[in-house]
């Protein structure tokens, strides 16, 4: 089974490998179970499920049953997870721990040293130390040749090619072609596709479009043999870019749409795998809790039986009525214990469902934002794109509120959210997404609102900021000013303005922005006055 799983990992059949591990994991204990978990950690990383991979690595690190080689593999894989997530200090710490193990146990080098050098070279490359990275890659190639490590040799050729980017194109191309040759010998179709794509990008970057076209067509010829959806998407996206450079807009759009569909399938597949992994983890923890509960019940039953036996022997002289009362008390205790256990299981189930719902909502909102970006990119009309930007910002305002407020089983509909932090995040989102620069002053008192009110207020402020960024024409840098204060009559007063000297927005009083502002004021049960871009809004604080 281990050999079969290793083969599937090498040839990128990650979903089937994950299915086999989850199906058979319960049958193994000790070192074999840890070995399966290490392979599962690698698979989760390859599938982009970094949170799940990291949690599993934490369990492996904490285990007292891992041997030296298993610890080494875990540290190297954790280094990759940290590298992917741009946490370079933590990545380096994991590599140092792995190097300590290799120094302490030299016998581990034979099977693991090439992969360690690859990982270390990759760390130095992404952290900006190109010379050190290249020397480590050369060292990895030399060691792989000595120990006949044919599996890692094409990876070494690839990182050597990356090490020659922008410095020596001839060497870069030579290493890419050697990596492609070695992957073909292994019949590693996913890697072959990836290398064809890399070579196509190499020539695309040099504006040699016909050669780039040949390589990407070579990738398309074998793309049907790939199990990895994002590899397929990358190939179609590259072909779209080449066709665009060749001024074949219709064909470029056709392949771009195919790439988009594969990306959508890939993200959908990731969500499904994440949910299945959560279900597997939940079922495992549930079964573990049930076994522990059963052991405890057996122990308690034994103790209870012994107690009852002694009690019967000691109290045999007492009256029959006393015995009946005692039995009633014991039965009541048992029922209470059963009820408590049932309530605990029910609460855990509900808590999981609420967390899963909250997680799915966040994922769905992220998908909606991604779809808006995709749709916007397909438009050529600037007004069309601006409308999608506005829609993106409105949904982003809802996402921010959702991130600040996490629902739970103990959810209270009157639970409060702090206002100032929420409004700061709305301003920051506009600063990050707009070409036009501005500064803002947020003089908001310490105010807490319910989630329904905070959403209405957030959408209102979002539209005010959007209007200022679009229409305000100040004599100097644009400055936005917002003030929220509590009044003596249990109301909240909102004052918003910018330093624009010319205001063109009044010509479009039926715009969606104004409709949203008026709608949100009504939602807050308040009223407002406006003089040009200066707004004064009052709503009850109940």
For residues 151-172, average pLDDT: 91
The pLDDT-based confidence of 497 (bands split at 50, 70, 90) is: very high
384 vs 400, residue with greater confidence: 400
Q: Quote the pLDDT of residue 504.
A: 58
In degrees, rounded to 5, the angle at the alpha carbon of residue 138 between the alpha carbons of residues 134 and 144 is 140
Q: Quote the pLDDT of residue 112.
A: 94
Q: In angstroms, what CA-CA distances link 361 with 354, 355, 528?
A: 11, 10, 33
Percent residues over pLDDT 90 in the chain: 50
Q: What burial class does residue 307 get, using C-beta atoms within 10 Å of its C-beta: 0-12 exposed, 13-18 middle, 19+ buried?
A: exposed
362 vs 388, residue with greater confidence: 388
For the chain, which residues make up each domain, given as ranges? 412-540
For residues 312-334, average pLDDT: 83
DSSP line for 434-486: -SS--EEEEEE-S-EEEHHHHHHHHHHHHHHHHHHHHH-EESSS-EEEEEEEE
362 vs 217, residue with greater confidence: 217
Q: Quote the pLDDT of residue 119.
A: 93
318 vs 329, residue with greater confidence: 329
Tokens, residue 412: 């209270």
Q: Quote the pLDDT of residue 506.
A: 47
Q: Quote the pLDDT of residue 480.
A: 96
pTM of the model: 0.50
pLDDT at 387 over 90: no
Regarding beta strands 479-486 and 439-444, do their DSSP bridges make them parallel or antiparallel, or are they unpaired?
Answer: parallel
For residues 221-243, average pLDDT: 88
d(CA 154, CA 172): 14
The pLDDT-based confidence of 287 (bands split at 50, 70, 90) is: low
Decide if 494 contacts 536 (C-beta within 8 A). Answer: yes
The pLDDT-based confidence of 502 (bands split at 50, 70, 90) is: low
Q: What burial class does residue 17 get, using C-beta atoms within 10 Å of its C-beta: 0-12 exposed, 13-18 middle, 19+ buried?
A: buried
361 vs 150, residue with greater confidence: 150
Mean pLDDT of the chain: 86
Q: Quote the pLDDT of residue 181.
A: 93
pLDDT digits (tens, 9 = 90+) for 398-453: 888 777 765 555 555 556 889 999 999 999 999 998 888 999 999 999 999 988 89
The pLDDT-based confidence of 503 (bands split at 50, 70, 90) is: low
pLDDT at 501 over 80: no
451 vs 75, residue with greater confidence: 75
Tokens, residue 128: 């900006």
For residues 87-104, average pLDDT: 95
CATH topology of domain 412-540: Heat Shock Protein 90 (3.30.565)
pLDDT digits (tens, 9 = 90+) for 106-130: 999 999 999 999 999 999 999 999 9
- Spell out the long-range contacts of 177-184 with Cβ–Cβ below 8 A and sequence spacing 24 or more: 178/154, 179/154, 179/155, 182/150, 182/153, 182/154, 182/157, 183/154
Q: What's the full length of the chain, in residues?
A: 542
């Amino acid at each position: 089974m281990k050999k079969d799983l290793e083969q599937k990992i090498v040839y990128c059949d990650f979903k089937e490998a994950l299915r086999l591990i989850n199906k058979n994991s319960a049958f193994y204990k000790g070192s074999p179970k840890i070995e399966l978990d290490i392979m599962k950690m690698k698979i989760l990383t390859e599938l982009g499920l970094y949170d799940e991979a990291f949690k599993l690595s934490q369990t492996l690190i904490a285990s007292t049953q891992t041997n030296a080689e298993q610890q080494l593999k875990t540290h190297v894989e954790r280094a990759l997870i940290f590298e992917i997530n741009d946490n370079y200090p933590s990545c380096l710490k994991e590599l140092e721990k792995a190097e300590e193990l290799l120094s302490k146990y030299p016998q581990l080098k034979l099977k693991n040293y090439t992969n360690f050098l690859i990982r270390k070279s990759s760390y130095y490359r992404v952290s900006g130390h190109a010379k050190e990275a290249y020397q480590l890659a050369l060292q990895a190639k030399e060691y792989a040749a000595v120990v006949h490590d044919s599996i890692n040799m094409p990876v070494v050729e690839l990182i050597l090619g990356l090490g020659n980017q922008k410095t020596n194109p001839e060497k870069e191309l030579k290493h890419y072609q050697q990596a492609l040759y070695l992957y073909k010998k292994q019949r590693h179709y996913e890697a072959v596709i990836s290398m064809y794509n890399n070579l196509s990008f190499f020539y695309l970057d040099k504006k040699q479009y016909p050669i780039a076209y040949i390589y990407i067509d070579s990738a398309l010829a074998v793309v049907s043999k790939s199990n990895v959806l994002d590899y397929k998407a990358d190939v179609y996206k590259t072909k779209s870019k080449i066709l665009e450079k060749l001024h074949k807009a219709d064909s470029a759009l056709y392949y771009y749409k195919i790439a988009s569909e594969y990306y959508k399938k890939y993200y959908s597949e990731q969500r499904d795998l994440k949910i299945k992994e959560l279900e597997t983890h939940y079922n495992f923890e549930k079964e573990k809790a049930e076994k522990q509960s059963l052991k405890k019940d057996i122990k308690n039953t034994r103790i209870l039986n012994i107690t009852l036996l002694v009690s019967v022997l000691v109290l045999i002289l007492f009256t029959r009525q006393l015995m009946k009362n005692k039995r009633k008390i014991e039965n009541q205790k048992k029922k209470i214990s059963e009820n408590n256990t049932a309530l605990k299981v029910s609460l855990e189930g509900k808590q999981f469902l609420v967390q899963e719902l909250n997680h799915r909502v966040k994922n769905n909102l992220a998908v909606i934002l991604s779809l808006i970006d995709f749709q916007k990119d397909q438009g050529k009309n600037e007004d069309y794109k601006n409308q999608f930007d506005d829609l993106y910002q409105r949904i982003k305002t809802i996402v921010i509120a959702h991130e600040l407020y996490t629902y739970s089983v103990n959810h209270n509909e009157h639970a409060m959210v702090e206002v100032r932090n929420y409004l700061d995040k709305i301003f920051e989102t506009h600063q990050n997404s707009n070409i036009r620069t501005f500064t803002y002053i947020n003089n908001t008192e310490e105010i807490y609102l319910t989630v329904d009110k905070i959403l209405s207020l957030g959408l209102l402020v979002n539209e005010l900021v959007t209007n200022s960024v679009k229409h305000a024409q100040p004599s100097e840098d644009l400055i936005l000013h917002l003030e929220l204060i509590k009044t003596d009559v249990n109301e909240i007063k909102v004052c918003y303005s910018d330093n624009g000297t010319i205001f063109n927005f009044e010509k479009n009083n039926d715009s969606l922005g104004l409709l949203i502002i008026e709608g949100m004021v009504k939602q807050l049960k308040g009223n407002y006055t406006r003089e040009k871009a200066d707004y004064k809004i009052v709503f009850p604080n109940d």
